Amino acid sequence: ASAGRRRWGWNSWNHFYCGISEEIIRETADALINTGLAQLGYKYVNIDDCWAELNRDYQGNMVPNKRTFPSGIKALADYVHAKGLKLGIYSDAGTQTCSNKMPGSLDHEEQDVKTFASWGVDYLKYDNCNDAGRSVNERYTRMSNAMKKYGQNIFFSLCEWGNENPATWARGMGGNSWRTTGDIADNWGSMTSRADQNDKWASYAGPGGWNDPDMLEVGNGGMSEAEYRSHFSIWALAKAPLLIGCDVRSMSPQTKTIISNQEVIAVNQDSLGVQGKKVQSDGGLEGMGRPAQRQQKGGGSM
């Protein structure tokens, strides 16, 4: 799957859940441009769960929801591509997706990847619900093979929630990122616990494949400005995919300031790509660090 260094953008789930439509996706693409966020590198516009009809068509193809995505996914891909952006989509390594029972891709892997590629999709988030009692290894290997055949240019984001230590095997499956945690919620405790669970896999991250402690909640209202600033900084240091999870069409100036901080973004995107980790913990105060340049032989350790 395609690596690329620009592994960040926006995803619909943390703010909209199943309440998505093609207008929201188009307006979000417009907003990424108008706010200057796209210019900073937020290029992926990622559609999460709930974009499809509950049934496949008579040939077994997935079909965009006729009410909420009447123009189809190809039209959306064309729309965002014309703006220099990329389009992401979501499917599931099981019989049905997690929330509204749209079809999963289990046993339809090649057909679905071909469909996504024909629509011009650039990114696939691959979830883990309704596994039909089959192993993680079997189900993700099937999609990995389909992606290697028909999805070479599609970023492969595994959403296995960290259950079976995907940091140790997802890169071998062509994964470009893998969730190391269950779902984040919009509060300090949830955010810091994602960060902690993600921390122990630091040595597995590097160019082409990244630990993913889940998407950003910055701007969704459940944390203070200082907490959101910490959230964004920790994700940047952890080399996590920076996927905005708020409504960028109506975000506050404070939210925009946090996610537009170029020095913080530069930490996330440095060319070495070493994940920062906890280096200090002292009575509730914690410090994170990471090397910013390749170290000389015999140089210090981190």
The nearest distance, CB 127 to ligand GAL, in angstroms, is 5
Name the pairing type of β-strands 277-282 and 285-289.
Answer: antiparallel
Q: Which of 127, 186, 199, 214 is catalytic?
A: 127
Is 127 in the active site? yes
Q: Which of 30, 183, 196, 270 is catalytic?
A: 183
Contacts of 197 (CB under 8 A, 6+ apart): 162, 180, 181, 213
> Tokens standing for 295?
């170290």
Contacts of 237 (CB under 8 A, 6+ apart): 267, 268, 275, 276, 288, 289, 290
CB 258 within 8 A of CB 232: yes
The nearest distance, CB 27 to ligand GAL, in angstroms, is 21
Q: Which is nearer to ligand GAL, 96 or 192 (CB)?
A: 96
Q: Which is nearer to ligand GAL, 48 or 109 (CB)?
A: 48
The nearest distance, CB 90 to ligand GAL, in angstroms, is 6
Sign of the Cα pseudo-torsion (151, 106, 8, 163, in order): negative
Q: Which is nearer to ligand GAL, 110 or 183 (CB)?
A: 183
Q: Residues interacting with ligand GAL, by CB under 6 A?
A: 13, 48-49, 97-99, 127, 129, 159, 183
Please name the amino acid found at residue 205.
A
Q: Which is nearer to ligand GAL, 98 or 146 (CB)?
A: 98
Q: Which is nearer to ligand GAL, 178 or 204 (CB)?
A: 178
Is 199 in the active site? no
Please give the Cα distance from 39 to 85 (Å, whole number): 10
The nearest distance, CB 198 to ligand GAL, in angstroms, is 14
Name the pairing type of β-strands 210-212 and 177-179.
Answer: parallel
CB 233 within 8 A of CB 268: no
The nearest distance, CB 103 to ligand GAL, in angstroms, is 13
CB 168 within 8 A of CB 204: yes
CB 77 within 8 A of CB 120: yes
Please give the Cα distance from 12 to 59 (Å, whole number): 29
Please identify every residue annotated as catalytic: 127, 183
